[in-house]
Amino acid sequence: MKLYKTSHFRNHKISCGQAKGLSIINRPIQNTVPMPRTLYTLIFYTCLPLIALRLLYRAWRAPAYAQRWNERFGFFKAPAISGKTIWIHTVSVGESIAAAPLVRKLLATLPEHRIVVTTMTPTGSEQVQKLYADEIQNGRVFHVYAPYDLPDAIDRFLNRIQPELAIFMETELWPNIVAACHSRGIPTLLTNARLSERSAKGYARLGSLTGTMLQQLSFIAAQADDDARRFIELGFPEERLQVTGTLKYDITVSEESQTQSLSLRQAWLIGRSEQARILIAASTHKGEDEQILEAFKQLRKTVAELLLILVPRHPERFQPVYELVKSQGWKSVKRSSGEKITSDTDILLGDTMGELMVLYGTADVAFVGGSLVEHGGHNPLEPAALGIPVITGPHVFNFTDVNKKLEEAGALFTVHNSDGLRQQGEILLMDSQTRVAASQMAKKVMDENHGALDKQLQLAIHQLKS
């Protein structure tokens, strides 16, 4: 097994001295706050009333947050234990989708195992239940909310599911959960792991709490060299780390999804000329919708028959964004309403769950949100897998490596405001040659970088056997 080495970055030969920041590995991290796990746990227990209030506030905007609180404290009825169990923890929709290929590979490779998939959010829960409806029905997959990072809740959870292996997706690490698995001898794999510069600084400020937690992890499968470097800087042993790439390149789009996208596109363009185009702005956050609508207003002056699909990231924002669209006088339709899209429709509001890839597939150009505001961006590989040129804002620290690859290939374009979105959108929508070239490069990047799935599968199996 080829492991990550500081003296040889994957695909790039870089010495320790050349690798920026590696010199801090062997000296104490400065400006940290000593945080033993007992103090962290005490603070967590003390904050439970505030956590409850936050859940109530979120439930006011998204009622599903008011349900299944018992699961967050480890109280739930697990199916009778038959065979062996692997626990895979995701956070919300994005991580659930990213984990799906690995879950399916594990199910196929290890038929004697069942998979417990946990999430933290209702939207993630809904996504998991859609992804594995058949597997949940036949008992191969069980879904429940993950427990809060409290020792008693974690003990109840682990007693009920009794996992042989715990797999955490991306950066979803909790000190008490990792410690509980470690004390029980349950191997832990942080897979598809990413760590932005901002997150690394946050972990570093926690000092020994972070260091101890990382030492207790069994293995890390990092997405990219920079992610690996940051984990090592925080104290993770380099001999237990491998750069595998990201599962997000292993996206597969079903024929059913592609057929549905084509059918919808044809229906939505009826009555419009051959020059009509579709622009999707997906996973948008507060502060972006106004900029997108301004860019759309200007684009309509040159791309007169442009249809905008606007998809807010969170369900609680569906209605406020719809009201914003209506207040500006646009003729709009909610996807959930089933209302017919006509040649007079200006904007389709994507207010359904689990349809994003289908909606992407109808578009000519995609803007990926969370990037015009300082959220860190969302996954640009979803539209890229469909060969759709991508536009993002500058704030993409959650997907730095992915965005860089796409941008260098000419498949992704960065803008900084609504005017930049208008300008780049006009080029891609009006110039078919540029759009086709970007589409081809997007597919090429996907083809050249897939393969992380098999590497991460083998690491998971290795941890089971170790």
User: Which residues are the active-site residues?
Assistant: 95
In angstroms, what CA-CA distances link 329 with 27, 163, 197, 326, 432? 60, 54, 42, 5, 30
User: How far is Cα 196 from Cα 147, in angstroms, rounded to an integer?
Assistant: 25
Token pair, residue 112, equals 């004697």
Token pair, residue 355, equals 């349809």
Token pair, residue 337, equals 């309403």
DSSP 52: H
Give the DSSP H or E segment for 462: helix 452-465
Token pair, residue 445, equals 């990047």
Token pair, residue 214, equals 């990382």
Q: What is the 3-state secondary structure (H, E, C) of 340-385?
A: CCCCCCCEEECCCCCCHHHHHCCCCEEEECCCCCCCCCCCCHHHHH
User: How far is Cα 248 from Cα 269, in angstroms, rounded to an integer?
Assistant: 30
Got the DSSP string for 196-241?
A: -HHHHHHHHHTTHHHHHHHHH--EEEESSHHHHHHHHHTT--GGGE
Q: Which strands, in side-by-side order, build the sheet including 219-222?
A: 141-145, 113-119, 84-89, 165-169, 188-193, 219-222, 241-243
In angstroms, what CA-CA distances link 132 with 100, 143, 329? 9, 9, 40
Contacts of 225 (CB under 8 A, 6+ apart): 9, 10, 11, 12, 243
- Bin 179: left if φ > 0, else alpha if -120 < ψ < 50, else beta: alpha
Q: Are 421 and 415 in contact (CB under 8 A)?
A: yes
In angstroms, what CA-CA distances link 378 with 85, 156, 216, 443? 31, 34, 30, 18
Got the DSSP string for 99-160?
A: HHHHHHHHHHH-TTEEEEEEESSHHHHHHHHHHTHHHHHTTSEEEEEPPPS-HHHHHHHHHH
Query: Which position has the token pair 């796409």?
Result: 406
Within the chain, what is the greatest distance between any pair of CA atoms?
67
Q: Of 356, 354, 358, whose CA–CA distance to 254 is shortest?
A: 358
